[in-house]
Chain A
Amino acid sequence: MWVPELVSNEELSSKPSRSKTQGDQMQYVITAKDLTKTYGDVTAVDGISFSVPAGEAFGLLGPNGAGKSTTMKMIGGVSQRTSGSLSIMGLDPESHGPEVRAHLGVVPQQDNLDEELKVRDNLLVYGRYFGLPMSYLRPKADELLEFAQLTDKAKSKVDALSGGMKRRLTIARSLINEPRILLLDEPTTGLDPQARHILWDRLFRLKEQGVTLILTTHYMDEAEQLCDRLIVVDKGRIMAEGSPASLIREYSTREVLELRFGSERNATIGAELEGIGERLETLPDRVLIYAHDGEAALEQVSARGLRPVTSLVRRSSLEDVFLRLTGRSLVD
């Protein structure tokens, strides 16, 4: 598989701001401090702070309405913050919108491709918005079409593309200016599993080339696959921060035993399961027992004479972290 070289190796090694520094001197491409956004009475983002070093894949994980998209819009300088400070590549996006966005590639939650233009023209025109010359854009557009596996659709209308293709075109478009930071707002929401995997693969390649990825998602598997580090956001606040593995270690057990007793029994069975595992979580459709050894916990359940309809032992995931932190599940 052939990949466009978005950043030449030479450039990577010669620019200190580009390379991921190991050790003491971290170069942050994004720094947010007490970032707040209110819409009337509603506080969408409530004083969040975080920093992202160059080359990292950084995730904002949270349910719908947590304030992830609002945060992304403030980073892009298309939404004004209410208070707090924000620095992108050393610039304030509010006072230097066009300059900050020259560093960014943006993949919004809903595709906003130019439906009046053909597929390839979407890339060319978008590149013109950055003030890039056609002599650069023509080969770059072909390269990105190849990257997005859309070469044979170059002359198609945007309308004719499938959901996954539109998403890939939106990502290709976001790369036209060789961004240092790629903002991805729920990049795979609404895509079928195969299309998601193709997308993840593309994003991995970009990360390998040193592009900083900022992504929001409410899919824990996506966050686990792609993110080096993430913040768990709920109601505009940061609930926890760390790598997926460290968050799971800190807020959950190694394994989880999922039991289903039928919807009426689930609610009342809690007392009878007391003492098994480290922690118990009762959901409407199932009961979760957090334990280091899930199989051993299941044996204890059987030993008490309880017969669940189904039982499943699995590894802990970010879903469990979120449940622990907020008392709610991530995808309703």
Chain B
Amino acid sequence: MSTLAESHNPGGHSVTEAARNRRFGPMYSRNVKAVIARGLMATKSSNWMVMLSGFFEPVLYLISMGVGLGAIVGAVQGPGGQEISYAAYIAPALLAVSAMNGAVYDSTWNVFFKMNFAKLYQGMLYTSLGPLDVAMGEIFLALLRGLLYATGFTAVMGIMGLITTPWAILMIPASVLIAFGFASFGMGITSFMKTFQQMDWINFVMLPMFLFSATFYPLSVYPQYIQWLIQAMPLWHGVELLRQISVGIFSPATAIHVGYYLVMIVLGVMLTAGRLRKLFLK
């Protein structure tokens, strides 16, 4: 045994000793990658059926609404005023919705469960990890998942002949931007949640946002004040941003949509960081 210990102890200085001599603040130990590695390992061994279902959800919507409903609707007006198929109209919106759903699920329910039931964070936080390592790791994993979904969905759009411009590839990073906005906020909001009933409020906000954010029909069908309300919500900006990218037609509004998410990310990260102690250290 001593040979083993020595092999890790060149000059009597063990790696554990080195690990102990690092100096950090109370919240962060610059070890986000350990949290990420854990998430990847867990996905590999168990949750990948869940992962697959997350990918198929928007695809199923696209097939049923886009192809099915699209047969009745026919062609509609795209962002630049040109005629596009109904499927091509709703596909980027569905991508934005799936980016939102994935990020919100990962940063709210998933965090809530791991914190209160699986006690995963409790174990992590008894190590050198700080709350910020855990939060950043979890957000990164949510974004990675969002990236995979977005890539898959964009490929499906390509196969269905709904992509007409090379600009469409930018829908993938834009989806990650949308996911980041929702994930950073979601975790901060979860820090206020104590019961399942409170967690249900999240769904109560998400479902109407999904249905009414100009996902399936243009905003112009609403009276003016409803339009303002929807334009204040984050999903509408995501839907419009991806819809513009999908046809490669941009306007000054594009910058506003991107800016909306940048602000959301900054505020969300600040909120989450400020609530970290409440979130993880009781």
Residues of A within 8 A of B (CB): 2-5, 8-11, 14, 76-80, 94-99, 101-104, 106, 108, 110, 112-118, 121, 125-126, 128-133, 135-136, 139, 143, 177-178
Closest to A179 in B: B16
> Once bound together, how far apart are the Cα atoms of A9 and B1, in whole Å?
11
Q: Which A residues lie within 8 Å of B2 (CB)?
A: 5, 8-9
Looking at A94, A125, A126, the one whose CB has the most chain B CB atoms below 10 A away is A125
Q: How many A-B residue pairs have CB under 8 A?
A: 135
The yes or no answer to B118 lying at the interface (CB within 8 A) is yes
> Once bound together, how far apart are the Cα atoms of A114 and B123, in whole Å?
8
Q: Which B residues lie within 8 Å of A121 (CB)?
A: 41, 45
| Chain B nearest CB, measured from A310 CB (Å) | 44
Looking at B5, B12, B35, the one whose CB has the most chain A CB atoms below 10 A away is B5
| Chain A nearest CB, measured from B49 CB (Å) | 13
Partner of B4, one of A77, A95, A143: A143
> Once bound together, how far apart are the Cα atoms of A226 and B46, in whole Å?
39
Cβ of A125 and Cβ of B8 under 8 Å apart? no
> Once bound together, how far apart are the Cα atoms of A126 and B118, in whole Å?
15
Q: Which B residues lie within 8 Å of A3 (CB)?
A: 1
Known: A128-B38, A136-B8. A95 touches B26 (CB 8 A): yes
Residues of B within 8 A of A (CB): 1-2, 4-6, 8-9, 12, 14-16, 19-20, 22-29, 31, 34-35, 37-38, 41-42, 45-47, 118-120, 122-130, 277, 281-282
> Once bound together, how far apart are the Cα atoms of A4 and B1, in whole Å?
6
Partner of B24, one of A4, A9, A10, A98: A98
Cβ of A116 and Cβ of B42 under 8 Å apart? yes
> Once bound together, how far apart are the Cα atoms of A116 and B113, in whole Å?
13
Cβ of A99 and Cβ of B127 under 8 Å apart? no
Cβ of B4 and Cβ of A139 under 8 Å apart? yes
Partner of B128, one of A8, A118, A131, A133: A131
> Once bound together, how far apart are the Cα atoms of A121 and B4, in whole Å?
20
Cβ of A79 and Cβ of B282 under 8 Å apart? yes
Closest to B127 in A: A129
Cβ of B15 and Cβ of A133 under 8 Å apart? yes
Q: Which B residues lie within 8 Å of A116 (CB)?
A: 42, 45-47, 118
| Chain B nearest CB, measured from A17 CB (Å) | 12
> Once bound together, how far apart are the Cα atoms of A113 and B47, in whole Å?
17
Closest to A133 in B: B15
> Once bound together, how far apart are the Cα atoms of A215 and B29, in whole Å?
27
Known: A94-B26, A102-B19, A132-B19. A108 touches B122 (CB 8 A): yes
> Once bound together, how far apart are the Cα atoms of A11 and B9, in whole Å?
10
Apart from A10-B12, A126-B127, A131-B31: 13 A-B pairs, beta carbons within 8 A: A5-B1, A11-B12, A11-B14, A77-B26, A97-B125, A99-B20, A99-B23, A114-B118, A121-B41, A125-B34, A129-B38, A129-B127, A178-B14
Cβ of B45 and Cβ of A117 under 8 Å apart? yes
Partner of B38, one of A78, A96, A125: A125
Closest to B15 in A: A136
Partner of A97, one of B8, B38, B130: B130
Q: Which A residues lie within 8 Å of B35 (CB)?
A: 129
> Once bound together, how far apart are the Cα atoms of A102 and B126, in whole Å?
9
> Once bound together, how far apart are the Cα atoms of A130 and B18, in whole Å?
11
> Once bound together, how far apart are the Cα atoms of A247 and B134, in whole Å?
44
15 A–B contact pairs at CB < 8 A?
Answer: A78-B122, A94-B26, A96-B25, A97-B26, A98-B24, A113-B123, A114-B38, A114-B42, A114-B120, A116-B45, A116-B118, A121-B41, A143-B1, A177-B127, A178-B16
Q: Which A residues lie within 8 Å of B118 (CB)?
A: 112, 114-116
Q: Which A residues lie within 8 Å of B28 (CB)?
A: 98
> Once bound together, how far apart are the Cα atoms of A104 and B37, in whole Å?
22
Known: A102-B19, A131-B31. A8 touches B126 (CB 8 A): no
